[in-house]
Structure 1
């Protein structure tokens, strides 16, 4: 449809006439879009006796299963953290193309080799947010591969005349008062003066909520407080559009806004205050007041918000929170139905940013199921480990460095030595050998499970156009542990450098399957009619959400996605016609593409094993051999994957069929690459000549060699995310959230 794509002409209308919201969905029926992304809300059970989060929300789970499809084999990027995961979902590209591959905070190198903190949450057009002072890096926080401000996700909708509501959705609204207020309102604005005079009120007034208006839409035109929706780097230009920023200015037009229990919301309650009742209350009010496209965030239920501690599965507070969420969804769907908003005219999308690993001992009452018998815990809490102390005590390594504290910490070595520098190599080797005394079990645990330096991070889509943000390396740890450095709040201060932190128990960021495997639910015109319930045979990740939404609404982006349209869950009449030409072959092409492109697809996970071998090895020959192979694999992947993505995108959005011979050539090239990477990943961690002599540990500790070759199972935690070979997968202030902002 003309006008639906970024940069395309708007539909012809009389002078001064406000455009209506016109979505060109293949079914012709979509007039509303409701997108809800949860924080850490699980489809699978964390305790086999305790119903999962979604099982305890039957109003939502049954709505999806009975009216559409729930994909249970859905995945995150790396690292698997809230900001990165949500931004990947919103844009359809990985962190190397939206600028935030590390979250919820990160560090960046100063010209003198020291580092400063950056926060991943900042408004779409804000520069890098350094809460410690004036930054030396002023590039946009949201950053394309060529160093420009990333295209905004609301643009195709506003260009089509639709108002887009944003409810606590990462970086589509103001995230803080420090840098976002001057970016949007101006440093000398009345809003900025309110920050100085009444900071808490300014947060409630201006952070977390917003509406991006379609061109000439009365909602913004009739508001004295609407501001220019400035996107100076947007492809095809973006001028004349307005937005309402903050609860205060939004409520002036659509208020009073209440939660689903009827309580008036007087101001943004904070990101941890975005319970289902509150968040969905905003969504319903927006949908009822001429805002037909809404994106919303719902906070997790497994923490006692706002300050903790964490709950364990089946604990009374957790069960009560999920019950309130279920009640909220029941009220939400009933209210929408009364409004005439239902599956017949609305595309519903539900997903979660990532799953978690539960760091805990078993419940004190093992027979508990949470629902009939509440569970109790005396050994609940992540294991905080001090990297600085462990490296000095166990390895005698006092190299100065900082980290983004996490169970997958990114490490920034002072001086910013390159990947081949002796300082970097030694710190990686020593990190690979680290162990920790587990205060819960009394056992000695190996901490490091994977290592990725800049060469591997490039393959994993973790290197941005801003070189200052590239870490020295990433350490993917035993997921029971949260790794920090001396001086960080809560970080152990003395040997044995490990303590239990009951404030937090749900770790993510890492690569293990219980963390990176999440779910996606879709309901609406063009989706799974008749309903398909739960499907585990569709391998997808967050980059696939965006192009699938656009295909179902008849819109386009002016950039190429790194995801693909999930056309196997669509009704045939809604599938882009070019994909129906040689449909089975196109599906195979799409499946191979995901396995070579996705960070936690087959190629990505196998490459992490190769990288771990390289970086843990004291043998420079082994290191150079594996690093060279990784660089070559990345180049091949980029060449093959980029052509696959281009061909798929043209079929999806330009009705250009993929020639069968080209599809077959690309499928073969992708599978050959998968086989080559798998062969190296399963070979001994040694040079080929050493390997032929039977060596399996040359150049590395036997502990890490075993880890690299087996996939890194955590004792007592079940099967690891190990190797998937060949074609095996074919066909299958600062607004701190409990999603922590930590950088030390």
Structure 2
């Protein structure tokens, strides 16, 4: 264990008195460095630590012009990023733009068609019966689509090229001898307490193990009880993937006993002999001198809603909890730490696994008192976090900080009423109507619409992934040209309903449509054909669209449900546009960069380039040279930098889901799918298919060249780059003409 020396404690206390930081013996140590076996950073870059944070639905821009944005309400974080590095505010997520997909594309540098999660946070697939079956997107990295029996779809949930499991993001770090700690981020810790043949508990600990037996008992306990939550609290959401040589997993006899094999059977180049610690029950004592709990940034133990130490639940990943874990991991010698922070737009009171409460969790509006208080608490947690790390000697001089968000979202609701304390108040009650909506002006909530009863009789059977951008899965998985499917697409596109936030007149529910051809252009089709949706409707983001035999449950159809008010998954700019900040050695101090167009897949190659590490695959993203000091830019990218810069910029417009090509082909796809003239449909679809095939071939050339330059010092010939730029522009022009 990392033991604290008393002279070091005296030094910390001296710093603490000067900065307001308080410390506890056995927690912090001055000058924490990466273990000797951990090899980070490229030549001349003194990076010893990595701190990666990904928020859920946290905004740089304002949702209400009179209310400070989320980041503005966290000045300690905002100032840290803008004063010490570069904050890109024209970043973009992927489609479908939800938590799982956004996080996974950022961590891997791959679009959903190559990291596997093309629809999230859940999806349907076509089993042999061709009656669509449900699956969650949140599963441990190696889980199957059908993780109950393995019979209905035995392919990986995280599926990549060749129908293999996507390479795991911790592997370059652990191969370099660095322990990799994580809390609450998608699929890199255990995600559930499943005890079936392919459940997370079975895969990690083995059927019949004490941990597995505990999960069986916990899963059988009454919902909303401490007993029901116990296995989740003990084993889910927290993990350490240990570096080669054993790392913290081999530090003492207890850790050796508690560690389990870190299995990645499809990993390129094999991945054998590595160990991991799964869950707070085993991670907490490993990083905190044998203690059963880890403290949050305020000094209180991190617990579940019942006071049991360990994972607080995914909705309980507040800044104080996540940052407390990351700080403790760093201080215990875990040099690479990844964490997720829950959104501040929702009041997470009574969130799972707490007992059911009909009033909570619920949405909060811009400037509402609970949201303001939450963001203030987040800001205080970041203040304490940066001070604590600085006292440990972990700062911008030796640490890479990456902070970003999974996706944006759009507020569905009215304008809040000013309150005496300066906050805004909202109507937290459902709003239903018979003919004309009569909701209060400060109403909050998504417009819930069940389309099943709104469609004509005789439609084929289908299931819907409910969303503001729902994906449709038709029974039997008919070919896209099937007349019955084509009629359903047109009928869905023709739906009109009243959106009270827009006015009393019925208007179109959907703004864009894409079938399998259009989805492929958006990177929404992976190598498992059973998971391809029949089509996707991108809706007015005020709506949450369902299709069931009853409901919605807010009174009428449509009606407003106040529990949810922040729409994502869709294509609107406030949903697709995000932000990412970099601080550390090799990072340029450019403050706010609002002009560089970037997206989630650029984060991974940018990080690895600075760290001197490599992945076993070609990235879809590029090294974001706009974030780097000149000396940190790979030489092969710096050579002919104007041309390679132009190449990177046009590559993103060609290949990114929210780039020009993706948005123009989606516009064209909408015209094709909604057309009643099948010759028009066929012509446009053929054009999209041809352009996408050409796009994919050119994107492969460009991404291979950019990756080769970044990681293998392979020079890009200026002649080739200029030819690719011209070809990319031609494809963009053709897509724009098709959309016109």
Task: Specify the TM-score bucket, using the shorter chain as the normaliser.
Answer: 0.7 to 0.9
Alignment-derived partner of residue 215 in structure 2? 195
Q: Is 1:390 the equivalent of 2:450? A: no
CA displacement, residues 290-320 of structure 1 (integer Å, 9 cap, x when unaligned): 1010110000011110242100000000000
Does residue 1:667 correspond to 2:725, yes or no?
A: yes
The question of whether the paired residues in 2 share the 8 Å contact of 1:50 and 1:371 is answered with no
Asked whether 1:282 is paired with 2:325, we answer yes
Instruction: Give the secondary-structure state (helix, strand or coil) at the position aligned to 2:324.
Output: helix
Is 1:447 the counterpart of 2:509? The answer is yes
Cα RMSD (Å): 1.5
* Unaligned segments of structure 2, at least 5 residues: 1-34, 220-228, 303-308, 352-359, 428-441
Counterpart-to-counterpart distance in 2, 1:91 and 1:618:
41
In the alignment, what sits opposite 1:184? 204
1:260 to 273, 294, 297: 297
Q: Per-residue displacement from partner, 1:528-576 (whole Å, max 9, x unpaired)?
A: 1xx2111111111110000000011111001000000001220010000
Distance (Å, rounded) in 1 between the aligned partners of 2:644 and 2:402: 24
**Separation (CA, whole Å) in 1 of partners of 2:696 and 2:636:** 24
Q: CA deviation at 1:19?
A: 6.0
Show the counterpart of 1:630: 688
Q: Report 1:437-586 matches (<5 A).
A: 437-440=498-501, 441-487=503-549, 490=552, 497-528=557-588, 531-586=589-644
Instruction: Give a deviation string over 1:360-411, Cα, whole Å, max 9, x none.
Output: 012234xx7x98343434410000101211213xxx4532110110001000
The 1:37/1:488 distance shift into structure 2, 3 A limit, reads: farther
Task: Name the structure 1 match of 2:116.
Answer: 99
Query: Do the aligned partners of 1:384 and 1:483 also contact (CA within 8 Å) in 2?
Result: yes
Alignment of 1:154-553 (within 5 A): 154-178=170-194, 179-199=199-219, 200-221=229-250, 222=252, 223=255, 224-255=257-288, 256-265=293-302, 266-305=309-348, 306=351, 307-365=360-418, 372-377=422-427, 378-392=442-456, 396-440=457-501, 441-487=503-549, 490=552, 497-528=557-588, 531-553=589-611
**What does the per-residue CA deviation read over 1:481-532, in whole Å, with 9 as the maximum and x for residues that have no partner?**
01001147745786xx21101000000000110100000000000001xx21
Structure 1 residue 147 corresponds to structure 2 residue 205: no
Hey, what's the Cα distance between the residues in 2 that align with 1:387 and 1:26? 58
- Change in CA separation of 1:209 and 1:681 when aligned onto 2, cut-off 3 Å: same
Task: Measure, in 2, the Cα distance between the counterparts of 1:209 and 1:220.
Answer: 14
- Alpha-carbon contact 1:386-1:491 (below 8 Å) kept: no
Q: CA deviation at 1:145?
A: 2.0
Offset, 1:228? 0.8
- The TM-score with structure 2 as length reference comes to 0.87
Cα distance in structure 2, aligned partners of 1:620 and 1:397: 20
8 Å CA contact retained: 1:19, 1:215: no
Give the drift of 1:462.
0.7
* Alignment partners' CA distance in 2, 1:332 and 1:664: 46
Q: CA deviation at 1:260?
A: 0.5
Give the CA deviation at 1:24: 2.9
- For 1:488 and 1:281, locate their aligned partners in 2 and report how far apart those are by CA, in whole Å: 44
Contact 1:23 1:160 in 2 (8 A): yes
In structure 2, do the counterparts of structure 1 residues 346 and 488 end up closer, same or farther at CA, with 3 Å as the change threshold? Answer: farther
Aligned partners of 2:113, 2:295: CA distance in 1, in Å?
Answer: 39
- Count residues with an aligned counterpart: 654
Q: Which residue of 1 aligns with 2:39?
A: 22
Question: Which residue number in structure 2 is paired with residue 650 of structure 1?
Answer: 708
Distance in structure 2 (CA, Å) of the matches to 1:666 and 1:657: 15
Q: 2:10: which partner in 1? A: none
> Could you tell me the TM-score, scaled by structure 1's length?
0.86
For the residue of structure 2 that corresponds to 1:540, the secondary structure is coil
2:115·2:159 contact (CA, 8 Å) conserved in 1? yes
Moved more, 122-131 or 571-580: 122-131
The verdict on how the C-alpha distance between 1:493 and 1:423 changes in structure 2, with shifts beyond 3 A counting, is farther
Q: Which runs of 5+ in 1 are unaligned?
A: 1-17, 683-744
State the 1:198 CA deviation.
Answer: 2.6
Partner deviation per Cα, 1:605-624 (whole Å, 9 max, x = no partner): 00000000000001001100
Relative to structure 1, is the Cα distance of residues 488 and 301 closer, same or farther in structure 2, using a 3 angstrom cutoff?
A: farther
User: Aligned residue for 2:19?
Assistant: none
Secondary structure in 2 matching 1:193:
helix
Deviations 1:325-372 (A, max 9, x none): 00000000000000000000000000000110111012234xx7x983
